[in-house]
Amino acid sequence: MSIEKKLSHIDASGNAAMVNVSEKPVTARLARARAIVELGEEILSSLQNGDVQTKKGAAFQTAIIAGVMAAKKTGELIPLCHPLGLEDCQITIAPISTSEIAIDCTARLHGKTGVEMEALTGATLAALTIYDMCKALSHHIVIKEIKLIEKRGGKSEFTTEK
């Protein structure tokens, strides 16, 4: 028996539509997304107190603020996303090699719909902010990937890590 999946944002007539969550129960929701940014060894070797200092200021601290602000505005940025009142949004930035950093964004709330898009948006804007803050140091910065790492709450759960 095959299970046919449908796109959730398409109505019976084939038109774009917001998902109706009015009958869904409120549950604890969590999503974690990760962006990998290749800064290069030269930029990462300049880390001081866990941050890269640029003429614009502290790159990682600025990126954390930008990521949280973006996650809070996801419903305004992405069509058909529900506007959500996040209860928590945490962003961490850490080197994972001599040339790359990982940006993790974890979003949480109690609600009727998940926070995957908020976590993905937060990680993405934090990565873009680091690019902007560090581009004067190198034009070889690469935002390599942005992906969902974990989703909890609702009818399906997901994780790529053990």
In CATH, what number is assigned to the domain containing residue 121?
3.30.70.640
Domain assignment present for residue 78? The answer is yes
Q: Given this model, what pLDDT does residue 4 score?
A: 53
Give a yes or no: residue 22 inside a domain: no
For the chain, the domain total comes to 1
Joined tokens for residue 9:
């944002």
Rounded distance between C-alpha atoms, residue 65 and residue 115, angstroms: 18
CA 132 vs CA 12, 106, 121, 128, 143: distances in Å: 42, 22, 16, 6, 12
| Residue at 5 is within a domain | no
The one-digit pLDDT tens for each residue of the chain (162 residues) are 444 567 677 777 777 878 878 888 899 999 999 999 999 999 998 888 889 999 899 999 999 999 999 999 999 999 999 999 999 999 999 999 999 999 999 999 999 999 999 999 999 999 999 999 999 999 899 999 999 999 999 878 888 876
Residue 34 lies inside a defined structural domain of this protein: yes
**Secondary structure class of 133 (helix, strand, coil):** helix
Q: What is the pTM of this model?
A: 0.90
Active site residue 104: no
Distance CA 73, CA 71 (A): 5
Residue 17's pLDDT is: 77
Domain range for residue 117?
27-155
User: Do the domain assignments include residue 75?
Assistant: yes
In a domain, 83, yes or no: yes
* Residue 160 placed within a domain: no
Q: With respect to residue 7, please indicate whether it lies within any of the assigned structural domains.
A: no
Catalytic residue among 11, 51, 104, 132: 132
- From residue 33, alpha-carbon distances to 36, 57, 87, 110 in Å are 10, 25, 17, 18
pLDDT at 64: 98
**pLDDT at site 14:** 78
* Confidence (pLDDT) at 5: 62
